[in-house]
Structure 1
Amino acid sequence: MNERHVDVLGADVPHEPVPAADTVAGTPTTGVVELGTFHGVELGIWEITPGVVRDVEADEVFVVLEGEGTVRFVDSGETVDLRPGALVRLDAGERTEWEIRSRLRKLYLA
C-alpha cells in the first residue's frame, strides 16, 4: 500500500458511466481508486450504482463494504448475494451479471 491508513468507507471514488454494451438495465456508473500493491497484489476500492451490468472477470477476491446486490455467474447459473461483509472470489474469464440494488462499494485484491 502507498499509505499506512485509508478510510475505505469515506474515500472519494470518481465515477464514469458503464459502457452501453455492458449495461443490461438502468444507467449504472462505476468508479475505482487504486490503493497500491501489497506483496505484488493490487489493492483497491471499486464502486457501482444501481442497475444491471455484464462483465468478464479477472482473478479477484473482494469484501463488500456497503450496498446490496446479486452477482450471477452466467456459465454455472450460481448466484451470490452481495451485502456488507460478503467475501467473494472471482476467477479470470468468468462471465458475470451484476444486479445492483443500492450503491455498492467493495475492497478488492486482484
Structure 2
Amino acid sequence: MVSATTFNVELEPVSASDTLSGSPSQGFVRLGALVPSPAEGAAEGAAAAAAAAAADFGVEDQASAAELASSRDSAAEELAEVGIWELTAGTVTDTEVAEVFVVISGSATIELLEVPGDPAASGQQLLVSAGDVVRLVAGTKTRWTVAERIRKIYIAG
C-alpha cells in the first residue's frame, strides 16, 4: 500500500508546445499494471518482483509490494497501467489515452477539444475536483486549466 495523497511524484516542466499559460510541471509514478492471472509455478518470479518493488517504492509491507510488482516485467501482457499523476498550475493541451481516473486532490477544468466518435462532446468543459471519477476516450484532445495542483489515480489501457 502507498499513500496516493503523499507519495512523492517527481515533476518536470510541461513542454512549451503543450503549454498555453503559466509554467506548469507534471509527473507520474507508475505503480504497476493489471494483468491476466499468472501461470502456476510463477511464485519465485512473483517473490523476486515483489522484492524489487519494495526496494523501488520504499514499501515495507510484502503484500503491498507484491501488488505493486504484480506485472512490472510483463508489459506485453498488461491489460492496463495504474499510477499517480500530478499537474501544477497552468494551462496545457494533451491527447489522452483511454483511461479512468479519480481526482484525489486539487481541481481543474478539462475542456474536451475533440472526442473521437462523439463530435457533440467537443467544447464540453468538465470541472473536476477531489472525489470526481472521469473516463476519457483514447485520442481525445483536451485543454487542462489548473488553478491549483491536481493529483489523480489513473487506470489507463
For the aligned pair, the TM-score class normalised by the smaller chain equals: over 0.9
Structure 1: stretches of 5+ with no match in the other structure: none
Matched, 1:96 2:142: yes
Aligned equivalents of 1:63, 1:101: Cα separation in 2: 18
Choose from 3, 8, 11 the match for 1:15: 11
Which amino acid letter does the alignment assign opposite residue 20 of structure 1? A
Matched, 1:72 2:118: no
Q: Secondary structure at the match of 1:21?
A: helix
Instruction: Tell me how far 1:68 sits from its aligned partner.
Output: 1.1
Choose from 25, 28, 45 the match for 2:24: 28
Aligned equivalents of 2:19, 2:6: Cα separation in 1: 27
Instruction: Tell me how far 1:45 sits from its aligned partner.
Output: 0.1
Structure 1 stretches of at least 4 aligned residues deviating more than 4 Å after TM superposition: none
Greater strand percent: which structure?
1
Structure 2: stretches of 5+ with no match in the other structure: 36-78, 115-121
Greater helix percent: which structure?
2
- The alignment of Structure 1 onto Structure 2 pairs a total of residues equal to 106
Aligned equivalents of 1:48, 1:8: Cα separation in 2: 14
What's 1:109 paired with?
155
Instruction: Tell me how far 1:30 sits from its aligned partner.
Output: 0.1
> Which entry has the higher C-alpha Rg, 1 or 2?
2
Which amino acid letter does the alignment assign opposite residue 20 of structure 2? V
Instruction: Tell me how far 1:82 sits from its aligned partner.
Output: 1.2
Choose from 99, 121, 129 the match for 1:83: 129
Matched, 1:61 2:100: yes
